[in-house]
Amino acid sequence: MSSLNLDDFTDLIERPDGGVRRDAEARRERQVVPPGSLGRLDDLGEWLAAAQGSVPVRPVVRPRVVLFAGDHGIAALGVSARAAGSAAELVRDVLEGGRPVSVLARRLDVPVRIVDMALDCEPDAFPEDVVRHRVRRGSGRIDIEDALTTEEAEAAFLAGVAVADEEADSGTDLVVLGDVSVGGTTVAGVLVAALCGTDASVVTGRGGEAIDDLAWMRKCAAIRDALRRARPVLGDQVQLLATVGGADLAAMTGFLLQCAVRKLPVVLDGVVAAACALVGQRIAFRAPDWWLAGQSSGEPGQAKALDRMALEPLLDQGVTVGEGAGALLALPLVQAAAALAAELPEKPQEPEKPEETQEAGQAGEGEPGRG
């Protein structure tokens, strides 16, 4: 059993300010463009106002991409298009600017932060700011063994909480959350299937770099076997992350919950982020009110998780590459919603009609004079 008191999150997480949202809606009704004519941008602007506690909404000026990285032992079964233990190569490519998220981040002028939680490489392979929260080297093969010890899961969860505090304290006003992993979508599928009570085949997708049919069948079997190990620990979310999760997913879950505590909005990327959000919802039911689904990746597990949390993706471009790239594409949409909500002028007020005075004047003519 975990020693963490997760009930604290239920007590600490409040919903975005409903009164501010009503004020934002009222302001929207007074603007020159009719309400509803901007589609979901209206809802986005009002959601941001409630999250910020501000009318008019403030612009999103300090966004950041935060990526949690790790290798998963389940990748040894050939469930990924990439070789097991090769997530470090992806991390290096992101840092050197050669991945889709790197290109988009440069274009949008958004800093990218990578947090190594369980890469299968030596700790000195990356700078200190990348590796200082690392819990272990790789996570266990969840079809036959636990991903982490309970102590490691707690440490990873608390590391995610610490990263959220660091971001909030540094002035970050919106986070794009993603992962850099090998085997991560398989682990995410297990969590989603366990929490939604579905079979492995319902949540098994093709992963970030589409696998062939044989690899898909191996992945489905791996999720099925891991599900048997997940179901007995569903009542303890930290133990669930230790049994069939991983250090990166445990950290992402803690990160998401603490962002909700700190009232820091988060845009979720793919199925890994969605699975962690689903675990977070189990811990604190109000937490998803602080999150947006950036994009639909086409992964069935992501669709299942988002449906359970009533989160509708902002974009549907079928971006499966991970690394926060799909969600980062949604950032300009969020910024546009904030700008429209704040900068569209209000309709000029119609002058009040003068009171009818004719009858009063006629009545005055009939009054007797003074003499």
Provide the pLDDT for residue 317.
87
Provide the pLDDT for residue 368.
45
Query: What is the four-CA torsion angle of 215, 217, 220, 225, rounded to 10 degrees?
Result: -100
* DSSP letter (8 states) at residue 33: S
Tell me, which fold does domain 61-333 have in CATH? Rossmann fold (3.40.50)
* DSSP letter (8 states) at residue 295: B
Catalytic residue among 128, 323, 346, 365: 323
Q: What residues contact residue 356 under an 8 Å CB cut-off, 6+ apart?
A: none
Is 323 catalytic? The answer is: yes
What does the alpha-carbon distance between residue 330 and residue 368 come to, in Å, rounded to a whole number? 77
**3-state helix/strand/coil string of 235-251:** CCHHHHHHHHCCHHHHH
Provide the pLDDT for residue 81.
84
Provide the pLDDT for residue 367.
47
Provide the pLDDT for residue 362.
52
From residue 121, alpha-carbon distances to 32, 69, 86 in Å are: 57, 12, 9
What does the alpha-carbon distance between residue 156 and residue 133 come to, in Å, rounded to a whole number? 8
Tell me the pLDDT of the chain (371 aa) as tens digits: 567 889 999 999 999 999 999 999 999 999 888 888 999 999 999 999 999 999 999 999 999 999 999 999 999 999 988 889 999 999 999 999 999 999 999 999 999 999 999 999 998 999 999 999 999 999 999 999 999 999 999 999 999 999 999 999 999 999 999 999 999 999 999 999 999 999 999 998 887 677 888 989 999 999 999 999 999 999 999 999 999 999 999 999 999 999 999 999 999 999 999 999 999 999 999 999 999 999 998 899 999 999 999 999 999 988 888 889 999 999 999 999 999 999 998 888 766 666 554 454 554 554 444 33
| CA nearest neighbour of 86 among 181, 218, 215 | 181
